[in-house]
Structure 1
Amino acid sequence: MSEPSAGDPGALAARLAALPDEQLLAVLVVAAAGRDKLTPLYEAATRLLSETGQSGSEPGVIPGTPDAAGYGSSPDLISSSQVGGGVGTVTGQGAGAAGPAGGYTRSGVPTFGSVRDKVERRIGTAFGARALDRQSPAGRGTDEQWEAREQAARERLAQIRTSLHEGEEA
């Protein structure tokens, strides 16, 4: 009997069902991180994972990976919600909250969602700038020059074709 393909949802469900609870929660945390519609699932899985003594606050880290000594930041430091805002000390209840703060993990690594949003914003800005350039007098002038050159090229090509065909008729 052949093994089910990796894209088979039934096979994936069976493999997930075979995992111990802690590992399944860790997989859910990693899979739901940065997905807006799955935020409640991410928060619930992170909370349950922390109750079992595991750390689920670092999406993308394989469960059981030892922490490197001196790497990252202390638990009472989270990143600012502003891009490039640096890290500030936060104390009190909010310091232990699970999940990314302002698009960054507690260790300062940007989340996939924040990177995707930044790329989409830059693409939108580029397309908007291009559209505005075409509406400006200088942009319209450039478009008119381009069209004039294209028309001149078409006319010259027609002349060349005509001259080639004249030699064939003789």
Structure 2
Amino acid sequence: MSDNSDIASRLAGLSDAELAGVLLVATAGRPGFAAVHAALVGLLESGDVVPQGDVTPATAFEAAAPPVQAPEVSGQVEDISAVPVPPSGIFTPAAGGGYSDSGVPTFESVRDRVEQRFGTAQGMSELDRQTPAGRRADEQWEAREKAARERLDRIRKSLHGNDIDPDQS
């Protein structure tokens, strides 16, 4: 057999029709290339590519690829095509697992999921406060709260200073 690059360069030099003819002959009778062969036949039937007459197959052309036979089973393995059914008395997800027989979630399962999500969210916020960035955010929040309280106190004092009744003096 010759070098792959030599073959590739020769195939690249062929016209579309010549290449289709070569591939059609090369894939004939090969079960692994049955899909490629069928695609080439479809291409030729559509009339997009006209095969060249000078390409002759090295092997006899078969109209259809031989059927691929399934490997024989040794008989040691039983038929496993049926879905196994659990014996009675065993807990199944349909009967429990937080769902009713009709597939509706039970109140208990919904409550458990809500409590789990709430606990996760609360835990995450506590963990966030333990980080340096979380502590800085808490400190900034407290500083703003303190500044807001001081400002509100000053506003109240200034309003009370203007509330002096002129008749009382």
Asked if Structure 1 and Structure 2 have the same fold, meaning a TM-score greater than 0.5 normalized by the shorter chain, the answer is: no
Q: TM-score range by the shorter chain?
A: 0.3 to 0.5
Q: Output the TM-score relative to the length of structure 2.
A: 0.39
Flag the structure with larger Rg: 2
Q: Output the TM-score relative to the length of structure 1.
A: 0.39
